[in-house]
Structure 1
């Protein structure tokens, strides 16, 4: 049982760190909602525990990039079924396309992942079922040279968290805690589930 706010905040940070590093973590794929009430599942690529920032990869042509832009509210939801812990996170999102962090994320990706940014942009209409990839890129790992044009479509979504809601479901009584960023510290409170 988590009895202090420090324990719970440490639990949140540990879960997010694990989720970014482990594809099998139940929080590796999170629901990300934008200010236009649109939501989608995204892969958590990194968590900076010092800055409380989440990093996701995205296509700059995606509608969410226009909604978020240089700064917009973003909600993030995850649930660890085995631990019975739900995280509801809120913060300010921003899209970056041409920063050292974006270049680093691009370089850390393999060519299978990079090829996703080669084809039609997200939401492009098609007369038939499609991956959106060019025909020549289907089922192969392209070369570095072949994926180079995809770089202009690659972006990252950074979400700097300013609100954390931790909810633990338990047979003997649910427990819920909330945290709100206050400068460099966090104000915490217990709330009824």
Structure 2
């Protein structure tokens, strides 16, 4: 596959890879590392890419520590790497947590009951405990909870993380010479020395 040779083609390639990551759980871009401004990093499932607005969407528990971190400082860094294609994407943007609205409701509705049951967790994510625990109610650890319970109890903890990308640092590793480019929302995109 030929490498992109214009900045527009690099930007398109990056978004194509991210969109594939949101659609395909086997894609290398499906599980990016997401870091908040407090340098806390975690792997998250990429759920959606809004190409027009250059935004990404993830699902999260509204009680998670990243919610307060993002409210305090919305800067977000993301890292994706496709080892087969030898393409790395380093992304920077601003995040916001949303718990209400049409997009949140649509994200909830498109989630499976198995995925929704995670939000029945009785303890907030990252809370300390004396022993290991699955953080699921005993009655749903091996079964699917009913819709009414999910919509009442679990929905209260469900949120989305929206990341508005400001920069995409695209880096392609190649034996005949690496290539690197930086897309910037402010229009100051450029090629970079690898």
Task: Mark the runs of 5 or more structure 2 residues left unpaired by the alignment.
Answer: none
- 1:43-192, aligned counterparts within 5 Å? 43-69=45-71, 72-119=74-121, 120-148=123-151, 149-182=153-186, 186-192=187-193
d(CA) in 1 for partners of 2:161 and 2:112? 19
Count of residues in Structure 1 that have an aligned counterpart in Structure 2: 190
d(CA) in 1 for partners of 2:182 and 2:42? 24
Query: 1:7-30: per-residue Cα shift (whole Å, max 9, x none)?
Result: 111101100111100000000000
> Which portions of structure 1, spanning 4 or more consecutive aligned residues, are displaced by more than 3 angstroms?
none
Query: 1:71-128: per-residue Cα shift (whole Å, max 9, x none)?
Result: 6110110000000000000111000001111111011111111110111210122232
d(CA) in 2 for partners of 1:135 and 1:128? 16
Is the contact between residue 70 and residue 95 of structure 1 (CA under 8 Å) also seen in structure 2?
no
TM-score (normalizing by structure 2):
0.95
d(CA) in 2 for partners of 1:24 and 1:103? 26
d(CA) in 2 for partners of 1:75 and 1:64? 13
Structure 1 window deviating more from structure 2 (122-131 vs 86-95): it is 122-131
Partner in structure 2 of residue 34 of structure 1: 36
Partner in structure 1 of residue 21 of structure 2: 19
Is the contact between residue 163 and residue 181 of structure 1 (CA under 8 Å) also seen in structure 2?
yes
TM-score (normalizing by structure 1):
0.95
